[in-house]
Amino acid sequence: MTTLSLSTSSAASLRADAIVIGLVKGADGPVVAAGGETVETAFDGALASVLEALGATGAEGETTRVPTAVGAGSLKAPVVIAVGVGTVADDGFDHEQLRRFGGNTARAATGLNKVGVALALDDPASVEAVALGAALGAYIFDTYREKSLEGRKAAVKEVVLLGAKARDKAAKAALERALVVAESVNRARDLVNTPPNHLNPKSFAAIAVDLGKNFGFKVDVMDEKALAKGEFGGILGVGQGSQHPPRLVRLGYTHPDAERSIALVGKGITYDSGGLSLKPPGSNETMKMDMAGAAAVLGAVAAIARLDLAVNVTGWLALAENMPSGTATRPGDVLRMYGGRTVEVLNTDAEGRLVLADAITRACEEDPEKLVDVATLTGAMMVALGNKTFGIIANDDDFRTAVHDAAERTGEPSWPLPTPAELRRSLDSTVADLKNIGERMGGGLSAGIFLREFVAEGVSWAHLDIAGPAFNEGEVSGYTPKGGTGVAVRTLVQLAADVADGTI
C-alpha cells in the first residue's frame, strides 16, 4: 500500500521522482495553487505560462508534466506534475476538491516511487482530505493478475505532503485518521472485487474473524445449523439453493467511555443469480458486488475500532449466495422470518430484503439507539438517482437528515427519500403477513418500507440503498476506481463519530 507522510522539506530540496502542484482554472488562464510558490520561483515565475503553452487549463483531473530541465534546474526532482483542481471559490478549496486532487495526484504518479505534493494545507481537515484522496486514488486491485507481465504499473510507493506542518500534532492525527479510513474503504473494495468463486459466506465470515482479532472487536458467526435452530427463515430461504450455506456474522465493538450505541446491518449476497427468478443475460456479470453493504459494514467497524471512537457498535453481516437449484426457494413459497413474521416470496431476486429483515430483527434485540442498514438493494434506486448517488429512507426525519449530512460531509453523494403510505399497502399478502415485492413503480421506496416493518419500536432507523455507487463500471475519476468503490464506509464511520460526540 502507498505510504503517506508529512515533511518540512521544501519542494526544491526534496529528492523525489516528481513534485506535484495544484493548478487552478482562472479567469485568464491557469494559476499555480498556493503552496507551489517554490516551484513557480524555480521557473522564474513562468511556470503557469509554460503549462498553458502545453495545453493545460487547470480543469479538474487534468494532468500536465514538465521536465525541470526546461528551466527549473534548482529543483532536485526531474519532473513537475501539474494536477488540475478546477475553479476555486473565494474562500479556498472545499474538502471534496482536495480529496479529488489527492486521488488524481496518486493516479498521475502511478509507477513512480516517490512524489512530493506542494500544496498549501493550512488546517488538519485539509491534510486529512488530501491524504484520504491520495490513499484511495492509489488503490489497485491486482490479486488475480500476473504481476510479472511486462509493463504492469504499480501504485505510487510514497507520497509526501509538503504543505503542512509536519510536527503539528493535529496534522499528524489527521493523516493517521485518513489512512485508517482509507485502508477500510480499500478493504471493502477488495471484498467487492473478489470473484464469487473465491468469496462465499463461509470465507467472508472467516475474513471478519481475522479482522476482529487484528483490530480488537468481537466476532460471532452463526452457521447454517445455528440459523436453523434460531429460525432465521429469511437468510436460510435465500441461501438454501446454494452449495455454500449462509452465515450471520455479529461484530461487536465496545468502548469503556461509550454512552451511546448504533447498529450497522449489511446485505452480503456473495453472488446473486436472482435465484429461480433468474436475472436476464447481461445482468449477472457484476453480481459479485451484491455484498457491498456487508463489506461497508465490516470496513466501518474495523475503522471505528482502530479510531477508538467512544461509541458501542454492533455490526451484522447477512451473508448468503442466491442460486437456482432443486432446493432453492420458489416464487410462491412462504418463509417464516426470525421473530415469527411470515413473508410470501413472489420474486426470488428480491432477496436482499429477506436477509436484511432477519438481521435487523436480531440487531434490534440488543436495543441500539440508532440502526443503519446498507444494501445494494434495488435497480429502481439506480433508475431514480443514477450511478453516483445512494438513497436514504428512514423512520425518523431528523435521523434521515443527520445521515444525509454525514454522507455529504464525507464526500459521498446521497439523497433523502420519502415512504409513501400507499406503497405500504402494496406489500400486503393474501396468504402471509407480507409479500416481498410491492408495486413496480417506486420499487426502491417499497423495498425500504418492507425493511421498516422489521425495525423495533423506539429505534431510529435509516436504510442506505447503494445499488448505484457501489460498483463503478464507468470511467476512473478522482479517487474512484473501476469496480468496487467502498461506498458508505466513510458515511458509517462519520455517523459513529457523530453518535459518539452527541451530535445526533
CATH code, domain with 349: 3.40.630.10
Q: Residues 141-162: what's their mean pLDDT?
A: 83
Q: Tell me which of 23-32, 56-65, 141-150 is least confident.
A: 141-150
Q: Residues 411-423: what's their mean pLDDT?
A: 97
Q: Are residues 239 and 292 in the same domain?
A: yes
CB atoms within 10 A of CB 457: 6
Q: Please check the confidence at residue 397 and state whether its pLDDT lies above 70.
A: yes
Residues β-bridged to residue 116: 19, 160
pLDDT at residue 293 in the model: 99
- Determine, yes or no, domain membership for 427: yes
Q: Nearest Cα to 128, choosing from 502, 493, 471?
A: 493
- Determine, yes or no, domain membership for 24: yes
Question: pLDDT grade, residue 163 (50/70/90)?
Answer: confident
Q: Please check the confidence at residue 151 and state whether its pLDDT lies above 70.
A: no
Q: Please check the confidence at residue 148 and state whether its pLDDT lies above 70.
A: no
- Determine, yes or no, domain membership for 174: no
pLDDT at residue 391 in the model: 98
Catalytic residue among 306, 353, 362, 490: 353
Q: Which three cell numbers, joined as nine digits, stand for 307? A: 479510531
- Determine, yes or no, domain membership for 175: no
CB atoms within 10 A of CB 383: 12
- Determine, yes or no, domain membership for 167: no
Q: Is 260 an annotated catalytic residue?
A: no
Q: Residues 248-277: what's their mean pLDDT?
A: 98
Q: Are residues 296 and 364 in the same domain?
A: yes
Q: Is 353 an annotated catalytic residue?
A: yes
Dump pLDDT digits (tens) for 42-92. 999 999 999 999 999 999 999 999 999 866 678 999 999 999 999 999 889
pLDDT at residue 122 in the model: 87
Q: Nearest Cα to 382, choosing from 288, 447, 285, 465?
A: 465
The fraction of the chain above a pLDDT of 70, given in percent, is 97
Q: How many domains does the chain have?
A: 2
Q: Are residues 155 and 201 in the same domain?
A: no
Parent domain of 152: 3-162
Any idea what the CATH number is for the domain that residue 98 is in?
Answer: 3.40.220.10
- Determine, yes or no, domain membership for 168: no
pLDDT at residue 153 in the model: 75
Pairing status of strand 414-416 against strand 483-484: unpaired
Report yes or no on whether pTM surpasses 0.95.
Answer: yes
H/E stretch holding 293: helix 292-307
Q: Please check the confidence at residue 150 and state whether its pLDDT lies above 80.
A: no
- Determine, yes or no, domain membership for 31: yes
Q: Tell me which of 2-16, 43-57, 142-156, 219-233 is least confident.
A: 142-156
Q: Are residues 128 and 276 in the same domain?
A: no
The per-residue DSSP string of 398-443 comes to HHHHHHHHHHHHHT--EEE----HHHHHTT--SSSSEES---STTH
Q: What is the mean pLDDT of the chain?
A: 96
The per-residue DSSP string of 312-365 comes to EEEEEEEEEEE--STTSPPTT-EEE-TTS-EEE-S-TT--HHHHHHHHHHHHHT
Catalytic residue among 76, 172, 202, 279: 279
pLDDT at residue 314 in the model: 98
Dump pLDDT digits (tens) for 335-356. 999 999 999 999 999 999 999 9
